[in-house]
């Protein structure tokens, strides 16, 4: 992947978890550099999606965005908070 950011997802959303989404028109496909970013982000554990107008109309996007964090994600968050507390002198 080039350092110029070509192919980087259109949206990166952070709240309870990290989500990357590429927005495409119906029938559009990912370009090669978008596929490389998509794969790299998936390997890094990022929830990665390709959304189209159909994704909005059929409720897929809303389902994804309102889904609660998994037990693994909660464990990771708890471990992070514990580590940060230790770094800042609180337990």
Three-state secondary-structure class, residue 48: strand
pTM above 0.85?
no
Answer yes or no: is pLDDT of 91 > 60: no
Give the per-residue pLDDT at 1. 67
Give the per-residue pLDDT at 3. 67
Q: What is the mean pLDDT of the chain?
A: 88
Answer yes or no: is pLDDT of 73 > 80: no
Q: Is 7 within 8 Å of 36 (Cβ atoms)?
A: yes
What DSSP designation does 15 have?
S
Answer yes or no: is pLDDT of 13 > 90: yes
pLDDT tens-digit series, residues 15-53: 888 999 999 998 999 999 999 999 999 999 999 999 999
Q: Which of 59, 12, 14 is nearest to 38 (CA)?
A: 12
């Amino acid at each position: 992947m080039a350092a110029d950011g070509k192919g980087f997802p259109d949206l990166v959303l952070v709240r309870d978890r990290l989500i990357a989404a590429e927005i495409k028109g119906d029938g559009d496909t990912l370009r090669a550099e978008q596929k490389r970013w998509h794969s790299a982000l998936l390997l890094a554990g990022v929830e990665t999606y390709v959304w189209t107008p159909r994704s909005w109309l059929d409720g897929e996007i809303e389902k994804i965005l309102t889904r609660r964090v998994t037990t693994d994600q909660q464990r990771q968050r708890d471990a992070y908070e514990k580590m940060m507390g230790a770094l800042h002198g609180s337990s």
